[in-house]
Amino acid sequence: MTTTIDQRSAGSGGVPEVATGLSISQGAAISIGAVLGTGVIALPALAAGVAGPASLVAWLLLILLSIPLATSFAALGSRYPDSGGVSTYVRNAFGPKVAAMVGWCFYFAVPVGAPPAALFGGAYVASAFGGGRTTMFATAVGLIVLVYASNAGGVKVSGKVQLGLAILLAALLIAATAASLPHAHLSNLTPFAPHGWLAIGPAAAVLVWGFAGWEAVTSLAGDFRNPKRDVPRATTIALIVVGVLYFGVAVASVLVLGPKAGSTDAPLSELLAIGLGGPARQITAVAALVMTVGAMNAYFAGCSKLGAALGRDGALPTWFARGSNAGEVPRRSLTVCAVLASTALAVVYFGGLSTKGAVLLTTGAFTLVYVLGTASAVKLLPRNTWAWRGSIVALIAVIGLMALTGLYVLWALGIAAASLLYLWRRRVTTAASQPVGSSSPAD
């Protein structure tokens, strides 16, 4: 994806046009891939396991929440197209300390989220070819190595390829839903809330994983041909596609699989196997791997670039800063991200941390990013506009979601506190190394 940008300043209100960049369809495809990603291949089962058929209520709530959340980020992206994404918006609204908190939460959430993402793909391989848990983890290791290698070589999924992947993903989900619905039974809706109505809250907390991504693509806002016009349009398309496909698969999982919906590791394989026959498992496994690679590639690319930007801005050691400029490959930051992801995978495999636990740790960090991101939208967007009103709704909703993550939010708060401690120590060290009488750097 080659992009030519003329004098774009970080956080500037001016939005120059990009001579060669993302089209609306390509941008929508990247958003669809980032948001659907690995979530759609596993979350219907996880949510059903938590709340049973009542998980459909949680799905509806998250789909509705996505509207103000996505439009808020789209409005910010169209006005402040910068590779810093949410961190840039928060810096403009609340200063560098809060921006560092957001940057650290995102940077350290991605490696923790990589193992469950890779294991979701591995579950489909195991379902199709056997091998159980060993196959799942071997696949996860291979996916992390593959994504690291592709990013280390500077190879990224282009807009055209991502558009093709989005079409493949949509076709697969439509096929799974349509083929399995003739086997649906309304009796599978009863009991509707086997674990109680309060279980909808924890189910919604799990589903945050599936709707993470609206903030990730903000770092690509500057790569659109006309960010002010194209970012909102691409986001609207993505919202419609994501909402329809997610809810369709969730409904099919509950109506067709019944009680089994909450115990399977590969709900899409089950749906296609019921609708089309056994060989569909192999087809689904290949498609699940493609989706997983695309989503992990996007997040590793964004994470590594963000780490380099944090090093450039002083929120991480300057060692990270290499590769922060446009067109450069941030290999140092990428390597740290891959090492942390591999460590997290080892904890899941040898330490007994469940994939659900890793998902909730990741969503806990992302919800804090959402809280600060939507709060910056409330402050930065023009008052009394629909985007501004939507940002207020989104802020209230994500505060509620953060509360629903329970103790897992402590992980995010710990990361935020660590970022402030780092900035404090850096300031003290810098002040101690300066000659007496010289001024210390500004916060």
Tokens for 240, please give them: 């419609």
Among residues 298, 243, 238, 211, which one has the least CA distance to residue 25?
Answer: 238
3-class secondary structure per residue, 187-240: HHHCCCCCCCHHHHHHHHHHHHHHHCCCCHHHHHHHHECCHHHHHHHHHHHHHH
Tokens for 244, please give them: 């329809």
pLDDT at 6 (0 to 100) = 38
The lowest-confidence range among 124-138, 215-229, 231-245, 344-358 is 215-229
In sequence order, which residues have a C-beta less than 8 Å from that of residue 307 and are 6 or more positions away? 107, 316, 320, 330, 332, 333, 334, 336, 337
Interatomic CA distance for residues 140 and 221, integer angstroms:
30
Interatomic CA distance for residues 37 and 166, integer angstroms:
9
Radius of gyration (C-alpha) of the chain in whole angstroms: 21
Quick check: 336 and 319 in contact, CB under 8 A?
no
pLDDT at 310 (0 to 100) = 86
> Which whole number is the average pLDDT over 414-424?
91
* pLDDT above 70 as % of the chain: 84
In sequence order, which residues have a C-beta less than 8 Å from that of residue 54 and are 6 or more positions away? 192, 193, 194, 195, 197, 199, 200, 203
- Res. 439: pLDDT tops 60: no
**Single pTM value for the model:** 0.74
> Model confidence over 267-317: pLDDT tens digits?
777 787 787 765 667 777 777 787 787 778 777 877 888 888 888 888 899
Q: What DSSP state is assigned to residue 256?
A: I
Interatomic CA distance for residues 271 and 183, integer angstroms:
9
pLDDT at 214 (0 to 100) = 77
Out of 32-36, 318-322, 429-433, give the one with best mean pLDDT: 318-322
> Which whole number is the average pLDDT over 48-55?
87
Interatomic CA distance for residues 53 and 208, integer angstroms:
18
- Res. 2: pLDDT tops 70: no
Interatomic CA distance for residues 31 and 221, integer angstroms:
11
Which domains, from first to last, does the chain contain? 24-423 (1.20.1740.10)
Q: What's the mean pLDDT when you consider all of the chain?
A: 79
The lowest-confidence range among 128-137, 183-192, 216-225 is 216-225
> Model confidence over 314-328: pLDDT tens digits?
889 989 988 777 667
